Amino acid sequence: MAASDLPHDTALEHLRIIRTLMERASIYRAVSATAALCGGVIGLAVAAWGIMRPPSPQVFLAAWIGVLCVSGVANLFLLMRESQEKGQPFITDGLRMALRAVVPPLLTGGVLGVSLIAFRQQMELAALVWILCYGLALQGTVSFAPRSIIHLARAFLIAGQVLTVLWLWKGWPGMVSPPVALASLYMGLTFGLFHIIYGVAVFLSQPRELVASSSPR
């Protein structure tokens, strides 16, 4: 449905929600950077372990579900603390809009990835699905997310596409074996390294943003 087909009040409400999200983008950017660093460091450590001592498919799956849980809890805690400090409700219309954008690709990637590992032992393909669906989830926030998250989304999407082509090219995967080690390499490069780079870049850019926001306009 086109924007012109929306009732006037509904369109205004959508604009209000997007404006609120954009106003809070710099705060969320700092909060998510802390969680990204935490998850990135843990993810890189788990990936290194998976490359050096390749686990079984079941252990690989359990380890990365653990990384997801730790990162998710850290992000949830930081968001709740930020809401309390600002005297704002945690569950808002903006949060609901963000969840509507990110949940479908994340849920799709989660179900596909778990199924590929549980029923087909396809760890590499599962990792590629996770990378691409995570990138799509972040890209879904393009209308209200800070620019840094959009850059992160595009990094995941580009990396996922390139790694998929390389994986399908039969000559390349043989350099890293067994398959679980290759899957660990994929996860470490993206969910580990990309999140660390994102977190560091956000923290380094914060002083410049504070100066810009305090300058007269």
Show me where the domains of the chain are located: 24-203
pLDDT for 17 equals 55
Local confidence band at 216 (pLDDT 50, 70, 90 cut-offs): very low
Q: Which two tokens stand for residue 131?
A: 């990378």
Which stretches does DSSP call E strand in the chain?
none
**pLDDT, tens only, 36-72:** 999 999 999 999 999 999 999 999 999 999 999 999 8
Distance CA 160, CA 181 (A): 17
Give the C-alpha distances (Å, rounded to integers) separating 194 from 5, 91, 112, 135, 198.
40, 28, 22, 11, 6
Chain mean pLDDT for the chain: 82
Q: Which two tokens stand for residue 208?
A: 């410049």
Local confidence band at 19 (pLDDT 50, 70, 90 cut-offs): low
Give the C-alpha distances (Å, rounded to integers) separating 48 from 118, 121, 164, 174, 192.
22, 20, 21, 18, 10
Local confidence band at 89 (pLDDT 50, 70, 90 cut-offs): confident
Local confidence band at 175 (pLDDT 50, 70, 90 cut-offs): low
Are the C-beta atoms of 203 and 33 separated by less than 8 Å?
yes
pLDDT at 104 over 90: yes
